[in-house]
């Protein structure tokens, strides 16, 4: 088979100096010095820059992105964000969600994201309009990104009749993950129980919003770990936020970290949202509310860093850059050593892919050629300096590119 592409003069983790990446059939066929390929093979010159695995977004809400101009955002609390989005959602149409979700998805692609799990909410108010709009993007953007939907009840499950039937219908129509938001339910544990039951019926993974508070008396993480063990679901459960972990004393944190590692429950931290919404009751010494997931990794659990919300009352910011999330996390978690910055990159690439059940998302022979040429020399510099993605490839085909900045001297 002729090669689809050779990416020359690339810096790759685990290789010395510049190497060439040869792609055949959408897969990395070889990584070698001065690879010889057919003259007709397309060549892209990485020009001695770092080639990262495609970035992996484990947690974003495409359906409610880009609505800051339609909502109040005065208090900056979680309650206000849920309330305002619930109001705005009534006016969502399939076309409206499709347009906003496409815009957000395209920004993510340009930032180097090649795989994404998006949460989509269903309830009797929105019905399946949000789901149908986002579901259409699977095929429309398959050339650039692998997209999967985690369907979840943002406004509660056991307290919101009709919601479970909609979640089940969404799973029948192609949602691949079931989610939860127990903290908005009148009976959080009953919601968790139902979500495990649905997951088992459909044989799909679970990705819950959990413990999105600084009140450590309201933690559900231990309950979720127990349910994960009971259902033999280790490796297929993730939780997002887990802000309470940021409020635990070290010894207690270590106990929970060991429990997460043993149960096989991964944690996604959402630094931008957590920083924006947590600690609103404080007028000084405001806590950060961001779970120290690098310490979970040291304890043997898996973790990822993700975007969560873009331009809505949960997070009125966003450029869909996962490298910015890695940098933001490193900054607030006070991580500056090379191995620590490398871990932050892993949490938006290989560890994020692992959370989604994709075993090997490295730049290595046999892996999908999902690649990003970053304007830097290695992954440590990528996180420290917020390196710009210059070329993005999905299965070896270039999907986005930009020109490096140039000075125009007099």
Chain residues binding Zn ion by CB under 5 A are 308
Contact 363, 370 (CB under 8 A): no
| CB nearer to Zn ion: pick between 308 and 327 | 308
* Smallest separation, CB 268 to Zn ion (Å): 9
> Which are the contacts of 365, defined by CB distance < 8 A and separation ≥ 6?
28, 29, 30, 31
CA distances from 227 to 43, 189, 206 (A): 51, 10, 12
Nearer to Zn ion, 238 or 335 (CB): 238
Task: CB nearer to Zn ion: give 44 or 120.
Answer: 120
Position with the least CB separation from Zn ion: 308
> Using DSSP, how many helices (H) and how many strands (E) does the chain show?
13, 15
Sign of the torsion formed by the C-alpha atoms of 229, 230, 236 and 239:
negative
Contact residues for 277 (Cβ-Cβ < 8 A; gap 6+): 76, 77, 78, 81, 212, 289, 314, 315
Tell the smallest beta-carbon distance from residue 240 to Zn ion (Å): 5
Nearer to Zn ion, 243 or 308 (CB): 308
Specify the residue, 163 or 308, whose C-beta has the smaller distance to Zn ion.
308
Residue 328 near residue 290, CB atoms below 8 Å? no
Residue 327 phi/psi, 5-degree rounding, is -65, -45
User: How many CA atoms lie within 13 Å of 214's alpha carbon, on the beta-carbon side?
Assistant: 17
CB of 57 to Zn ion, least distance (A): 11
Query: Residue 272 or 308: which CB sits closer to Zn ion?
Result: 308
CB of 308 to Zn ion, least distance (A): 5
């Amino acid at each position: 088979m002729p090669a689809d592409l050779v990416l020359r003069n690339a810096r790759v983790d685990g290789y010395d100096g510049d190497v060439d990446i040869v792609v055949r059939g959408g897969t990395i066929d070889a990584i070698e010095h001065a690879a010889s390929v057919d003259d007709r093979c397309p060549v892209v010159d990485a020009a001695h820059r770092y080639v990262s695995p495609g970035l992996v977004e484990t947690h974003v809400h495409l359906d409610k992105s880009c609505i800051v101009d339609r909502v109040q955002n005065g208090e900056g609390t979680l309650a206000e964000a849920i309330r305002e989005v619930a109001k705005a959602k009534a006016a969502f149409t399939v076309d409206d969600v499709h347009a906003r979700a496409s815009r957000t998805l395209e920004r993510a692609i340009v930032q180097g994201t090649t795989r994404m799990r998006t949460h989509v909410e269903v309830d009797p108010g929105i019905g399946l309009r949000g789901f149908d709009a986002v579901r259409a993007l699977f095929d429309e953007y398959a050339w650039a990104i692998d997209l999967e939907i985690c369907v979840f009840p943002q406004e509660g499950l056991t307290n919101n009749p009709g919601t479970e039937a909609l979640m089940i219908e969404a799973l029948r129509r192609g949602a691949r993950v079931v989610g939860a938001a127990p903290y908005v339910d009148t009976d959080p544990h009953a919601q968790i129980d139902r979500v495990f039951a649905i997951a088992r019926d459909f044989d799909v993974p679970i990705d819950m919003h959990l413990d999105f508070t600084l009140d450590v008396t309201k933690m559900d993480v231990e309950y979720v770990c127990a349910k994960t063990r009971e259902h033999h679901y280790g490796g297929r459960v993730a939780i997002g936020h887990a802000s309470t972990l940021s409020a635990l004393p070290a010894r207690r944190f270590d106990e929970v970290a060991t429990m997460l590692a043993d149960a096989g429950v991964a944690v996604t931290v959402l630094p931008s949202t957590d920083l924006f919404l947590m600690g609103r009751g404080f007028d000084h010494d405001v806590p950060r509310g961001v779970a120290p997931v690098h310490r979970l990794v040291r304890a043997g659990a898996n973790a990822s860093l993700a975007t969560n919300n873009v331009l809505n009352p949960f997070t009125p910011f966003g450029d869909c850059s996962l490298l910015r999330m890695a940098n933001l996390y490193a900054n607030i978690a006070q991580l500056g050593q090379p191995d620590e910055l490398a871990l932050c990159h892993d949490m938006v690439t290989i560890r994020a892919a692992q959370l989604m059940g994709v075993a090997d998302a490295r730049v290595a022979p046999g892996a999908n050629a999902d690649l990003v040429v970053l304007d830097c020399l290695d992954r440590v510099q990528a996180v420290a300096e917020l390196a710009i993605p210059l070329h993005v490839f999905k299965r070896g085909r270039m999907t986005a590119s930009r020109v490096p900045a140039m000075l125009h001297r007099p």
